[in-house]
Amino acid sequence: MRGSAGVPGVRRAAGALAATALASALVLVAAPPTPAFAHTPHDQIPSVAATADLGPDGGVAMVISRDRLLRSTDGGQHWSRVVRGITTASPIADVAVAPSDPDRMLLVSRGGGAFRSDDGGTSWRAVDEGLALNLAWVAISPRDPDVAVASGAYGAPLYRTGDGGEHWESTGIAGAASVGFAARSDLVLVGDLTGQLHRSDDAGTTWGSPKKITEGAKAAVRALAIDDRTDGEVRVLAGTDREGLLVSTDGGATFTAGTKLGKDDRVRDVALSPADATTAFASTWAGGACRSTDRGDTWTCTRDGLSTDHQADELPTKLPQFG
């Protein structure tokens, strides 16, 4: 899921979680409605975002399919390609909406830089001053729509903006694989491809020295979710490539192994429910989707309706795939 390749590694399984659990919105206009089907195994849907009120009669869902941006306003029954204002022919890599302002959106591309919308996706303009053009993922702070981070592709630096994308600066963090924003403070955590955790307490303006998420950790930290919505404890859920789900109850200072999410330790995404402070979601590479109703202490996982495709594991990109 997000957390993806970055996040932010959002994959199809993770995208399903985003559509049902994240209060994210992406709105766009475009060509005549077309189905958004993925052909096995070469048409991955790496990114999904949706409004909290998504359903057959309302809300908005956005997906990336075949490197193009698609929009649905009827719960995914019909899709339209988005083209207005996106002036790059490069593949679209990721999309994000500001949780505190659904009209503010950012998208990044693999070669064409970043674009911003201030009208719910009706129009877009380039916002890439100081930013690399080859980007993998983007995320916006839930507290401030002007604060966002975008990761360069292939281990390139992580960039930050404090003015909605008008200007970007490198954070000095290379190989960022995930980001977590706190909802009630300026705490930001970034996980990288080598198992390190980077911490900022001022919304990403400055960063402390990185440290291994656990002693001897080597695998990527693919997903981060900071839960500070309950008074008295800042809990962090971290999904890793090899160590499964890790849990911190002290704001990310220390982590311990969490409940196993089935038999698959390759956690791809973790998301918090916007409507319920005790509910969280997670997805693994091949194990399916999981749900917790106690802030991540215990999990119930299911693969009902999902089938994995072994051909996807054989692709050079090594993307998890559900059908």
CATH label of the domain that carries residue 221: 2.130.10.10
**Residue 104 maps to a domain:** yes
Tally the domains of the chain.
Answer: 1
**Residue 214 maps to a domain:** yes
Res 155: pLDDT:
81
Res 309: pLDDT:
66
pLDDT tens-digit map of 190-233: 999 999 999 999 999 999 999 999 887 888 999 999 999 877 78
Domain span holding position 207: 12-314
C-alpha distances (whole Å) from 12 to each of 36, 45, 63, 189, 286 are: 12, 5, 10, 24, 11
Handedness of CA 214, 247, 271, 241 (dihedral sign): positive
**Residue 158 maps to a domain:** yes
**Residue 7 maps to a domain:** no
If one compares 311 and 93, the residue with the highest pLDDT of the two is: 93
Q: How far apart are the first and last CA of the chain?
A: 15
**Residue 128 maps to a domain:** yes
C-alpha distances (whole Å) from 290 to each of 1, 31, 32, 202, 294 are: 12, 35, 35, 32, 13
**Residue 271 maps to a domain:** yes
Cut 0.85: pTM above it: no
**Residue 204 maps to a domain:** yes
**Residue 231 maps to a domain:** yes
